[in-house]
Amino acid sequence: MTSTSPDIPNCGGLPAAVSAFADAFVDFSVSGIFFPTNPPPPLPATPAATFLPAPSRLVAIGDLHGDLPKSLAALRLAGLLPPANSPDSSPTSTSWSAGPTLAVQLGDILDRGGDELRLLYFLRRLSISAAAQGGALLPILGNHEVMNVCGDFRFVTQPGLQEFSSWAGWYRAGLAIKRRCGDLEPPKNPFLGVPKSYPGIRREFWDGIRSRVAALRPDGPIARRFLADLPTVLVVGDSVFVHGGLLEANVEYGLERMNAEVSDWIRGERGDNARAPEYVCGRDAVVWLRRFSEGFNCDCDRLQGVLGMIPGAKRMVMGHTIQSEGITAVCGAQAVRVDVGLSKGCGNGLPEVLEISGGQSQLRVITTDPAEAWMYRKQKPEKPAAALEKNGDVKDGLALLVRESHALKGVEAKA
């Protein structure tokens, strides 16, 4: 036990209760959500399982990009939440309504919208509710999660920065509560070592950028809590879920090995400024690849070869590449693409989800009722904030990392 300073009161043998109160205070202030007072045991410092058996019903949901209302519409469309007109439904309801259904969300929760933190909190709370009902909600990592852990904020919006600035204020308040209890180990301050100024960026965004770096860098409180346990690749029954796509070299390297190494990187176990693993960076990375998700002239022979390296795999389900006409499938449904550009910050597409049932043999696209489609079509897509000033011009998006040389570099924090 830490020795108590004369200036810091002892918590009367209740340090755990004080810590839990501070965490609940921050959670509710940021998200409006209370988490269970008796949650399941803490997750071990290992990634989630890579291979899962086929459930009776499997659902896939594409990229969400910081748009909570549209995300809720997709979750309701999939039957994971009660219908909007149900007595059990409310804008903040986290009641799982799909029983033993297993739902996979294909990543890219972050960027392009202002509800990123609320989405992370909501999905985590809904996953707890799902587990209690015998179901599961399993997001995977997308390229935008990787980018943010790297400090690459090119697709952040002004509301997104404001949301993280607000989080930082509440998080500091939680730290202050914990510091008033001398029985507790001194809490780690994630803001230490994070730059306070960002030349080339409008000053009004500096606090949001600093807050975002602190939250999402390796071992940052949001990265560790919400991202570190997400798989990069997930195989459920005969379906392979990956944000961008897999190539032969990825399968040879090992899917479980990739998941474990990316998890370690996000937890900061490779150092606060460790580089992301190579296979999640670059054009052919598993979270960036578009070889099997772009257009209808897919390299079906190569896809079949990759799937053939994964025992029992029959299809690859991907996000990342917007399908402007809705969910598509090519190569005899061996490549299924579920990113419909849902978010208002990324196309404002109509909600659609993929359902796999009947012993994994029946694929069905569940789409928005035409009677409801007008609500989304009348909404105009949002544009990113103009934040980077260069030679008198204002560029769209934060583009934090674009210098005069146009080289890309992540924001680093001093250890």
Query: Please, are residues 227 and 105 in contact by the beta-carbon 8 Å criterion?
Result: no
The pair of three-digit structure tokens given for residue 13, joined into one six-digit string: 């043998």
The pair of three-digit structure tokens given for residue 264, joined into one six-digit string: 């370690």
**Per-residue DSSP letter, 39:** P
Q: Which residue has the tokens 């930082």?
A: 168
CA 341 to chain CA centroid, Å, is 15
Amino acid of residue 248: E
The pair of three-digit structure tokens given for residue 397, joined into one six-digit string: 């998006």
For the annotated catalytic residues, the residue numbers are 144
CA 194 to chain CA centroid, Å, is 22
HSE (side-chain half, CA atoms, 13 Å) at 409? 9
Give helix 158-179 / helix 206-216 axis angle, nearest 10°.
60
CA distance 156 to 111: 5
Residue-by-residue DSSP string for 240-279: EEESS---HHHHHH-HHHHHHHHHHHHTTTT-TTPPPPGG
Residue-by-residue DSSP string for 146-162: HHHHTT--TT--HHHHH
CA distance 3 to 32: 35
Biggest CA pair distance of the chain: 72
**Per-residue DSSP letter, 203:** G
Torsion angle (degrees, nearest 10) of CA 51, 79, 110, 254: 10
Query: Please, are residues 317 and 298 in contact by the beta-carbon 8 Å criterion?
Result: no
Give helix 158-179 / helix 116-132 axis angle, nearest 10°.
70
Query: Please, are residues 108 and 144 in contact by the beta-carbon 8 Å criterion?
Result: yes
Question: What does DSSP say about strands 335-337 and 315-318: parallel, antiparallel, or unpaired?
Answer: parallel
Amino acid of residue 60: A
